[in-house]
Amino acid sequence: REIQRACGAAAANHKHSPFFFIGGAGISQGSIPLAEDIIEECKQEVTRQGRSSIPAPQSKVPIDLYSYWFELAYPQPADRQAYLEKLINGRPISHANLRLAHILISGCITKLVVTTNFDTLLAEAVHLFGEDVINCDHPATSARIALDRNEIQILQVHGNHMFYDCCNLKDEIVQGKPSQLGSLLGGILQERSPLVVGYSGWAGDVIVSALEQHL
């Protein structure tokens, strides 16, 4: 009711939405494996390579486990990109992405989504319903995002699976290219409140860091 009331007041005063969505892996669950599933697959890949004696990392923090096993299994960025592409290409659009696309197209809440997902299922869902989308999938394209636009906009803070420079490992997620998006996220948070769907938050990633700084 609070969301509906705030959106109604903004529309009545001819103002832009006071919200934006933060979307995580949960909206693609069922079509794309979650991080915990990728960790297990990477462990199996390390074993297939004959390195079953590799010790487990001391840290139990999810981002540390994910980064550790992903880099062991696929040490080259191009190999990691190829692995993600194999996981994602041709996968059906999840129900959550279809429903979120409906909400974005209606414009009743917001037309802006910030996501950590590597897949393009949300953009595909929007296109499926005959609508266009502005997609920012690399820090160099962050200038495409503007809060005063009426088009549907999707900001993929870690890049997407079609490019080898997407950010997978902890050093990339915490300190690398996504940090260039920090000021953009800070600007969004100054103007709008986030509605979080399917994202539990990874300590140190660009979204959590922006939220912490803003709070």
Give the mean pLDDT per block of 10 residues along the chain (215 residues).
94 92 94 89 91 77 82 87 86 96 95 92 96 84 81 87 49 48 85 94 81 88
Crossing angle of helices 206-214 and 182-191, rounded to 10°: 50
What is this structure's pTM?
Answer: 0.83
- The pLDDT, as a whole number, for residue 180 is 62
3-state secondary structure of 212: helix
Whole-angstrom distance, CA of residue 33 vs CA of residue 41: 10
In sequence order, the β-bridge partners of residue 113 are 21, 154
For residues 109 and 40, the answer to whether their CB atoms sit within 8 Å is: no
Closest alpha carbon to 131 in 110, 104, 155: 104
DSSP structural state of residue 24: -
- The pLDDT, as a whole number, for residue 10 is 93
- The pLDDT, as a whole number, for residue 2 is 94
